Amino acid sequence: MNAMKKILLGEQGLVVIFALAFAIVSIFVPNFLTERNMLGLLQSVVTIGIVACTMMFCLASRDFDLSVGSTVAFSGMIAVMVSNASGSILLGLVAALLAGSAVGFVNGVIIAKFRINALITTLATMQIVRGFALIASDGRAVGINDPSFYQLALSRILTIPAPIWVMVLLFLVFGFILNRTVFGKNTLAIGGNPEASRLAGVNVVRMRIWIFALQGLVCAVAGILLASRITSGQPNAATGLELSVISACVLGGVSLAGGRAAMTGVIVGVLIMGIAENVMNLLNIQAFYQYVVRGFILLIAVLLDNMRSSAAGRGKA
């Protein structure tokens, strides 16, 4: 009993739970462990997975970003509209990446430089940016003119769709950044103890702005892939994404109090969200129930996290 408790509440507890759940689902849910379903599952979590990479940095540095859903929709819209207008997909993509980064940069400047609460700031920009997306498109979906734009999402490398590769690549890149670079360690440091970091010479303000700008850039990547997959720029795309992404991060053991984050945890968090949805689809459970299940998963994750940190606290004393 105690040994089990130790494993579940330890560093790798979440991975163990995930592996168990995966095994159980594979055995009992028909059609789950098939190549087709696995690819479908991964496809379905691409947007959440990509945005979770930088949300992890944001939360780890004690910040918060609610504007990601709007930024994904907005930058997808920009990509489609600029491509259509200029006839150059490349130009569209660059414009989208710039637009996304700009949103993040503005968030960062307001939050870090003017010291406005991150929750309030991004709540505001979330609405402003969504408004931009609606205004630009007059509230309607904008279809993609050049079919090669679709190919971004449709093309396959080694039978696996490109967006999944992008997600995996970003997982690797951001995992490396978090664990092996100055940027990653400084992120954890300013979340873990802002004052100590400042005194040690870390430029906390600049770090926070960078993190938000990066968040915007990555949202734009997700927005482009999403637009390509749904073959249009949708002003209402990715509503509620921020909540799924934050849930996935918290599930993955990222601390809302800052200072604690791990890429493997976040990946597992993203997959748990995806599997829950996937299994319910396979079992023909009505979509409405998925909200309830998602909510419960999040609550359980937070409770588990609480138990884990108090167990760690006891270990110290």
Partner 1 sequence: MRDGAVMAFLEFRSISKGYPGVQALSDISFSVEKGAVHGLMGENGAGKSTLIRILSGDQSADAGSILIDGAEQNYRSVRDAFDAGVIVIHQELQLVPELTVAENLWLGRFPARAGVIDGRTLVETVRSRLTDIGIDVDPGAKVSSLSIGARQMVEIAKAVMLDARIIALDEPTSSLSSRESEILFSLIDKLRSRGTVILYVSHRLDEIFRLCDSLTVLRDGKLAAHHQKVADTTREQIITEMVGREISNIWGWRERPLGAVRLEVRGMSGTRLPVPISFSVRQGEILGFFGLIGAGRSEMARLVYGADRRHTGTVAIDGVTTAPGNPKAAITAGMVLCPEDRKFDGIVQGRSIEENITISSRRHFSPLGMLNPKREADLADQFIAKLRVRTPSRRQDIINLSGGNQQKVILGRWLSEQGVKVLVIDEPTRGIDVGAKSEIYDILYELAAGGMAIVVISSELPEVMGISDRIMVMCQGRIAAEIARGEFDERRILTAALPDKNAAGTI
Q: How far is the CB of 42 from partner 1 (least distance, A)?
A: 29
138 binds partner 1 (CB under 8 A): no
Which of residues 164 and 202 has its CB atom nearest to partner 1 in the complex? 202
Q: Which residue of 40, 43, 91, 260 would you call a contact of partner 1, by CB under 8 A?
A: 260
Distance CA 247, CA 264 (A): 15
In the DSSP assignment, the letter for residue 258 is S
Q: How far is the CB of 29 from partner 1 (least distance, A)?
A: 37
Distance CA 256, CA 249 (A): 9
Size of the site for partner 1 (CB under 8 A): 24
The pair phi, psi for residue 198, each rounded to 5°, is: -60, -45
181 binds partner 1 (CB under 8 A): yes
Distance CA 298, CA 9 (A): 16
Distance CA 311, CA 306 (A): 8
34 binds partner 1 (CB under 8 A): no
Residues from 192 through 211 that contact partner 1 (CB under 8 A): 192-193, 195-202
Alpha carbon of residue 262 to chain centroid? 13
Quickly count: other Cβ atoms within 10 Å of residue 76's Cβ.
33
Q: How far is the CB of 188 from partner 1 (least distance, A)?
A: 6
Which of residues 173 and 285 has its CB atom nearest to partner 1 in the complex? 173
Which of residues 168 and 260 has its CB atom nearest to partner 1 in the complex? 260
Distance CA 281, CA 269 (A): 19
**Residue ranges binding partner 1 (CB under 8 A):** 180-183, 185-186, 188-189, 191-193, 195-202, 259-260, 312, 315-316
